[in-house]
Amino acid sequence: MMIEPKSSNVAIVLLGSFNPAIINPDWLVLNEVIGKIQAEDREIALITPQFSGFRVSTYQYQVTPERFAVIFESAPHVELQDAVSKIFQELLPHTPVQQLGINRSAHFSVGSEEKRNAIGRKLAPTEPWGKWSEEWKDRLPPGRGGMINLSVQESFPGDPHNRRITATVQPSLLIADNIGIFVAINDNYVLTENTGFAAASLLTEKFESSVQRSEWIIDQIMRLKETEHA
């Protein structure tokens, strides 16, 4: 990406029917999804029939009966794809899965609050809000108002998986002093065959190009740091 993020991750999300209790660090080791040494670095939040939440190495697992998600902060990101593909191609191939999401997000600094405000005004002008915006747009913080959440979606007519990419831009809550921007990209697919194996196969096919496209979209927002003037 054009700017080195302060924090970023890639996440793979599946929607379907899952058994949270079986998905835990010991199960991942037993089935060679991760190694024993890797699993020594773990932190378990909760593992019950209704929720499994834990960190192992640089992976964050969050599983409910309807949603399976793994978040990965390290590179190369293909390690995340390999792990999820192994789980659903080899271990849980018949698990019902209806949707697949390949998500990329980043927090990055633009250097000043004035610059961030200029970018916010570019993405969401205040003028259409008329006299209401005139009351708050030029106030000093924290009374100043402006964009807090903006989402844009791209659809792909004729795509067999009803693919949709949704980009969301927000002020970053992670970066101090009101100088950060958060961008999240959700690349979503509806499966034509509702199995874990089909989800893993589609993931293998789409993962690399999806992450590259998401980073390209994030770059469009990062570029505003250089083109917008406070």
Per-residue model confidence as pLDDT tens digits over 179-194: 999 999 999 999 999 9
- pLDDT of 120-166, one tens digit each? 999 999 999 999 998 888 887 777 888 999 999 999 999 999 999 99
Burial class for 132, CB neighbours closer than 10 Å (0-12, 13-18, 19+): exposed
Stretch 77-100: mean pLDDT, rounded? Answer: 95
Encode pLDDT of 10-66 as tens digits. 999 999 999 999 999 999 999 999 888 888 899 999 999 999 999 998 899 999 999
Nearest to residue 41, comparing CAs of 31, 54, 53? 54
